Amino acid sequence: MKLGINGLGRIGKLSLWHHVARKHFSGVVVNIGREVGRNLTDLAAMLEKDSTYGRLGAYLYGHSCPRVIEELDEEKGTMRVDGVPVTILRSSRNPKDIAWQQNDVKLVVDSTGVFTDPTTDGGSDKGALRGHLQAGAEKVILSAPFKIKSKGLDIPVDAVTTVMGINDDMYDATRHSVISAASCTTTCLSYMMKPLMEKIGAERILSASMVTVHAATGSQQVLDRLPKTGATDMRKNRSIQNNIILTTTGAAKALSLVIPEMATIGFMAESVRIPTTTGSLIILVVNLQDELQQPIKRDAINTIYKEFAAINPYLKFSEEQNVSSDIIGMPAAAAVIEGTETHTRTANIQVNLAKVKADSLREGADPIVNVPVTQAVVYGWYDNELGSYTNMLGDLTVNIAESLI
C-alpha cells in the first residue's frame, strides 16, 4: 500500500522521514502542488537536511551515513529515499484535483493546516479535506484539530478525533473516513489528564487549567511586519526571534473529543510562543476535592504517572532535571512528566451555601462549609514536531492503514 502526504511543511516533511525509516508502506506519494526551487534536486536537498534534526541519513543510520536520496527523475517527479520509492506531485493544490487514484493511494495524511473543516463539501473550489476522498482516497488523516467554520454544525458521523493510546479504539474502520490526529499540545495534555482521571476520578476534579510554553511554529514572523487588512491580533506579526508571544490554543476544546469526561470539568487552556525551534512544555494545574486527614501529596501524583507509564509506551516519567533540548527527537513520547517539579498544596476552601442553594439550609444552620481542596501542579515536556507528534501520527497512520487491508 502507498501512503499519500499532502503538504511538505514541518509535519509533512518529518512524516516522510518517519515513514521512510519505518518502511511500512511500499511507497510514498507527496503532493506539494507547485514547483520547488529550480528542479527536483533542490527539493531533494531540502528533504535531506533539517535545521532542527540534522541530516536525514544521520537520523536513519548515524552521522557517518552517506546521502540516502538517489535515482532522481525530473520528468516523472520520482526519487528513492533510503530505498523507498517517493513520487512528488506538483500540479494541484486543491485536494479534489490531486492524482491520488492515478497513483494508487488509498490513505492520505493532510499536513497543510489549511483544510481543517470536516463539514466542507469535497467539491469546493477553495479546497476541502473531503476533496481527498473525492480524488480517490478511502481515508484521510488530518494532522491538526478539526475546525468547523459554520456555527451550529456538529462533527459529521464519519469523522473522529483520536490520540494513540488514549482513545484510538474509538476509530471504526467501517464508519470513519475522516480522522483528526488532534494536535501536539492536545496529545501531550491527554497523557497528563488521563492518568489522573483514571486513578483519582473525574468527579473529584473541581477545575483544571494549563499553559503551554510552546516553541515557534511556521505561523510566526522572523521580523516584525505589518498585519493583514482586518487583522485583530497584532502579536502574530511580531518577531518570534526576540519575543515571548501570547497566543491561543484549542487544546481544551479538542481534549473533550479525546476524553469525553473532560466536558464536565471547568478547564482553561492558554498558550505562549517562545524563540525555540521545538521542545515545548505544559504546566498543568488541577484542583481536587480532598481529605484533610489524608491529602493527596506529590509522591501520590508521581506514582500515578509512574504506573501509567509502565503500561503505556507513550508516557514517559523522568526524575532528571530536563531542559527543552533534552526532549528533541525523543521517540514516541507524547508527554515526559518532570517528576522532580510536581508539587501539591492542600487547604480548606470556605463555601457559602447560602449563595449556592439557600432554600436547602435549615433555619439557623451555619451556611459556611469548609471543603478541603488540593492544588496539584504537573510539568509535561513534548517534542511538538518529530519526537512526540510525528511519531504518534505515524503510529496512527499505520494503524488505520492496516484496517484497509
d(CA 328, CA 332): 11
Q: Dihedral, CA atoms, 51, 53, 54, 56, nearest 10 degrees?
A: -120
Neighbours of 63 (CB within 10 A): 9
Question: At what angle are helices 10-22 and 40-48 packed, to 10 degrees?
Answer: 80
Is residue 184 annotated as part of the catalytic site, yes or no? yes
Quick one: which of 145, 147, 110, 143 has its CA closest to 129? 110
C-alpha cell, 17: 522521514
Residue with cell 503538504: 7
Q: From CA 83, how far away is CA 60, in angstroms rounded?
A: 12
Angstrom distance (rounded) from CA 260 to CA 267: 13
From the candidates 184, 262, 328, 333, which is the catalytic residue? 184
Q: Which residues are catalytic?
A: 184
